Amino acid sequence: MIKTEHMITRRKFISTTAIAAYAAMLSADLFALQGKKKLGNFGFISGIISTELREDWKGALKKAASFGYTEIETGNYMGESAEGFLSYLRETGLKHVAGGFEFKSSDEDLKKSLDLLTQLKVKIAVVYWPWYTGGPFSLADCKKSAERLNFLGSLCNDKGLEFSWHNHDKEFIPMDEGLPFDFLMNNTDPGLVKCELDIYWAAKGGANPVEIMKKYSGRFNILHIKDMASGTTMDFECPGNGIIDFRPVFREAYSQGIQHFMVERDNVTDGIGCLKSAAEYLNKLRY
């Protein structure tokens, strides 16, 4: 595909905006006194150690728990049964908090997925791509997604599950009518539809995660804690090894009563190593 000048300029603008937003956040916080609060608990999404889980899921989970993790986010069980999986999680001290399912599932598959999440005793059901298309998104795309999210939120509520959708950076690419992120937040039922805010993707999209949290206070039940590498590539990084200062994020989360923080890092080659370094960072961090 030939990249037009408009496409290149727009991408450069989004990248520059994201870096500028974080530079402002960092400079404002550099001179603040060291905080005294620390995270009471934090977890991880299973995909970060998918390779290790395939090789030895019990050993991998035991290692994660030894680092200080107390929660896990995964949409399926490991081993021979859901009961056996949950039993092992209890042994390690990990709590199964959330799991995902497919946004565009057929009615039959949707029922199976929600029945499984209920069986796994999760608190929160998540869709990780709340769109029918790959984006960038139009107003028509947003209307279809908002309608579907409200429907899914109602189904989850009937099952005793909280429901969240997960953002990426494309929700922050402007449409003629505003931002897709704002449309979804403003056109879904606050009582049925929450957002699992991914800090990295919001920043990459050019947004300030703390300002988003303030704007939509009460709408977030999980944060994905993923860091950003320095430089113009804005690549993924393990929490604590990148440029994102999570202290203001955690301060705002504390003020809102958000309790679930899931470490994530896409395309990681050493998942266990990433979990270990992230846990060391989060255990030491004071906000």
The confidence score (pLDDT) of residue 18 equals 54
Cα→Cα distances 231→15, 16, 68, 191, 203, Å? 10, 11, 30, 39, 14
Q: What is the DSSP string of 76-93?
A: S--SS-HHHHHHHHHHHT
How many helices and strands, by DSSP H and E, does the chain display?
Answer: 10, 10
d(CA 218, CA 190): 8
Q: How many domains does the chain have?
A: 1
The confidence score (pLDDT) of residue 24 equals 45
Q: What predicted TM-score, i.e. pTM, was given to this entire model?
A: 0.89
Domain that holds residue 210: 5-284
Residue range 103-118, pLDDT digits in tens:
999 999 999 999 999 9
| Residue ranges in the chain whose pLDDT is less than 50 | 1-14, 22-33
What CATH number is attached to the domain comprising 89? 3.20.20.150
The confidence score (pLDDT) of residue 35 equals 81
